[in-house]
Chain A
Amino acid sequence: MRYVVLALAVLIVLGAGGFVWLGWYSAIAPAQPPARASFPSAAIAQGATLAALGDCVSCHTAPDGAPFAGGRALQTPFGTIYSSNITPDAATGIGTWSQAAFRRAMREGVDRAGHQLYPAFPYDHFTKVSAVDVADLYAYLMTRQSVRADVLPNDLSFPFDYRFLITGWKLLFFRAAAFHPDPAQSAQWNRGAYLVQGLAHCGACHTPRNVLGAEKSGQSFAGGEAQDWYAYALDKASAAPVPWTADSLYAYLRRGWQAQHGDALGPMHEVTDDLAGAPDDDLRAIATYIAGGLGKPVSPGPQVATQAGPGEALYRGACATCHEDSRGPPFAGVDLARSSAVRAPNPANLANVITDGIPAAGEAREPIMPGFGAVLTSRQTEDLIDYLRTRFGAPHPRDGVADAVQAARANSPLLEAAQ
């Protein structure tokens, strides 16, 4: 018995030691912030397009904050994580990070000082970014306006506030690996695969996550969540009533909306806004790769006869004027029979867009929609969603509709502003 206890103790000590050893990274010595002139202008320019493809600015900028100065709150099931300042400020940003330190953060999820980074920073994707692209991104970020801005410490629940646990997470879920092209596919498809799996980190939202916050293996693009929005499935289970093609996906990514499908909503609108800085060729490559994995839409089946109820009158009075206007987007609403939000199994996006509408986006000619959160009660919104899904979508169970409406109202900028 004594020997068993002793053996166990030895195992535990060895295990703990191994764990510490595995998670141990030395600090990379602080470097002098490199001068702008030390970067070739072509590298900076290429880095700018890569940053647009990676949509770095979305997460690394607080609402109304300076670009890349961090501080945006990311809500996770484990608590709130605040994005870091990635401007070249020496004290609060990455000004003292050498290119090697930056590459290690991108590819291995470890900061300059040797601390493990939470996988909210999607290094499980960025590990596939090539050394050349990392160098160009570094050139771009190190030549941005330096902003001195401390960010709030993360607010994570026990035990997730212990960074050393990330070592275990990585053992389970993270594999540092370069991108391997598929020689059977075209160069354009492979370029798309490289971007989507790597820098563009599409799966970070469009793939479901397990209880430990890792993307579920074998379920790439099966549909996931982004903040309070549903990120549609981009696989055979696509909810789009009209099949996506490489051309329509390209137009959607280029402009943020597409006449047969509608508008990019919520976090996806941030993505398409940022993609404005990405080259046509890369967007076409992404569209080619994603379209190749999408399935044909499932036929909606026999339409369920809808009862004339409050939902129908709400639809006719509030929605039909725009959504039955044959001009379609961007001048009128999308035909709701073509709407992924209506067809999707998850009602979150439908609840969000009914509540808040689609705000005008700067100067661009994009669809807009008034929000109805101020005039519809929760119950009326639920009635409307039921009607829309039954008439135009698929007869999904009502489960989750009330919760989605409640969440939409709790997080509504329109209702918050009207309080």
Chain B
Amino acid sequence: MILNVNGQEHDLDVDPDTPLLYVLRGELGLNGAKYGCGLGQCGACTVLVDGRAAFSCVTPVVALAGKRIVTLEGLGSVDNPGPLQHAFIAEQAAQCGYCTAGMIMRAEALLRRNNRPTEAEIRTAMQPNLCRCGTQMRILRAVRRAAPVVRTAAEAQG
């Protein structure tokens, strides 16, 4: 089947019930999304599907034909990080780092549809993703920090 990931089409020979996460990590070498609980409950595997946050560990690839998938790697690189990646670095919003990729993708979904979020909207949007090291306050700061950058970029694009 054909899977569109970060703007590139991949022709894959996988079982249709394979969770997207396994394909990303195992077939495509995209290791940004993490395997946490495997039950769609922790958010470490979060990616975007047509702009919406989705748990890739419980999303079978058969559901994704014709849809656009974006992973952490699609937001920027080490040399050229995207606004949220930059904000997470600037706020040092990671301790062990296992949840970080999912947190960034969850925040990306929020800022794509609402780049002027209130504190309450940020907290509600981030709720499905768990962090057990205690970086939550820094994560919230990073999202707040990235919002005006995303907003300026969106306004520049008109």
Contacts and interface: CB of A to CB of B under 8 A. Distances in A.
A417 B49 CA distance: 15
Given A317-B59, A322-B39, A375 B16 contact: no
Given A310-B16, A313-B16, A317-B60, A374 B41 contact: no
B99 to A, nearest CB: 16
A419 interface: yes
Contacts, number: 69
Interface in A172-187: none
B128 interface: yes
Contacts of B127: 360
A313 B41 contact: no
A165 interface: no
Interface string A286-321: 000000000000000000000000101111111001
Contacts of A99: none
A380 B40 contact: no
Contact of B60 (A313, A360, A370): A313
A370 B17 contact: no
B60 A314 contact: yes
A419 B52 CA distance: 8
A370 B41 contact: yes
A314 B15 CA distance: 11
B18 interface: yes
Contacts of A419: 113
Contact of A418 (B16, B41, B53): B53
A316 B55 contact: no
Interface stretch (B4-12, B61-69, B144-152): B61-69
B54 A313 contact: no
A315 B40 CA distance: 14
Given A370-B128, A418-B53, A317 B61 contact: yes
A376 interface: yes
Query: Considering the complex of A and B, which 5 residue pairs feature the smallest CB-CB distances, nearest first?
Result: A317-B60, A370-B40, A316-B17, A374-B52, A317-B17
Given A418-B53, A418-B113, 4 more contacts: A313-B17, A317-B17, A370-B58, A380-B63
Interface of B: 15-19, 38-41, 49-55, 58-64, 67, 109, 113, 124-125, 127-128
